[in-house]
Homo-oligomer: A and B are copies of this chain.
Amino acid sequence: MDKIFLIVMIIGFPVSVIGSLLKWPAILMFIIYCLTIVTLAFFMSKATENVSMIAGERIGGLLNATFGNAVELMIAIFSLHAGLIQLVLASISGSVIGNLLFNGGLAFFIGGIKHKRLQFNAYNARHNSVLLIFAVIVAFLFPKFFSYELHSKDVLTLTVSSSVILILLYLAGLYFKLVTHRGVYQTSDEKKAEKETKEQPEWGLWRSLITLIVLTLAAAYISENLVDTFKTVSRTFGWSEIFIGIIIVSIVGNASEYVTAIMMAVKNRVSTTVEIAIGSTLQISMFVAPILVLVSLLFPEQMKLIFTVPEMIAMVLAVLLNVMIMNDGDANWFEGATLVAAYVIMGTGFYLL
């Protein structure tokens, strides 16, 4: 896996640069950028993991919170700058739906074919469920309803204060997990397993840090150029801003996590799968999305966290279904199939929109 990604990256990046300088056709460049950025994201998450292992769990947790969705964050910021607010909102809801239903579902399905019962820590699952409900149902849905009755200026006030609260609660959640309640909800089996599977970092600290910085710069370069191709792509294929955001950007931004989650489920390390699928969703909804709101205050057009009705209903249903399935800390191939089936129905709906 690593090798294929490495080759694509080593070929993809120079080709991207040359293509963008020589102004190759936008559709071709769109495909090259997408492939390249997926591989960059993959090695960025690898470098982040390495730094985390060396720097300890606390700094690692913070690093991961910042770099875990760096690619999505960069694409979103360049899109905001280009005024593509609907696209950014759609990429947020697309990431929520994709991570919860498609990523989680596929991982459970494939992992569940190899192992009869996939078991994971039910306390963690419930902790995550509470946060999912808070983020998507309280912080996203509640302002949506109020947006019908409030002036546009007041909606912005509500969205900014919700964003600040989301970020504070996200940081409080890290503090809870890594400091005050570290290991409190772990079973003794899990503690033992954790010690045994303690992994060694592949790369040293400096190598990891330099890799991280270089890849981030490369990803920023590609992101900016990728956003420029959206308008042509949208015109050529007749895709709407929402469709590009909800499908293309969310897949490009999360592809490397999908691969990791499924590989972990096959190895029966389902706790890691769940951590990736739900953790990434929480990171996007409680950290990336509110950061984008605050960043957009610097731009001429501000972004409100007010999603369209179809996006909102898809996110709420994805959360409800996920919460029901995760709640007991036990999954199987059929529950995975159910999640994927929900994703297919929703995908059909958005395709027809």
Contacts and interface: CB of A to CB of B under 8 A. Distances in A.
Interface of A: 116-117, 123, 126-127, 129-131, 133-134, 137-139, 141-143, 145-146, 148-150, 154, 157-158, 161-162, 165, 168-169, 172-173, 176, 180-181, 184, 309-310, 313-314, 317, 320-321, 323-325, 327-328, 330, 332-335, 337-338, 341-342, 344-346, 348-349, 352-353
A344 B158 CA distance: 11
A138 B345 contact: yes
Contacts of A328: 123, 126
B334 A181 contact: yes
Contacts of A134: 321, 338, 341-342
Interface residue SS majority, chain A: helix
A317 B126 CA distance: 17
Contacts of A352: 146, 150, 154, 157-158
A344 B141 CA distance: 15
B149 A314 contact: no
A282 B231 CA distance: 45
B149 A321 contact: no
24 contacts: A117-B184, A130-B324, A130-B335, A131-B338, A133-B324, A137-B317, A137-B321, A138-B321, A138-B342, A142-B314, A142-B317, A143-B345, A154-B352, A157-B352, A158-B348, A158-B352, A161-B348, A165-B344, A169-B337, A172-B334, A176-B332, A176-B333, A176-B334, A180-B334
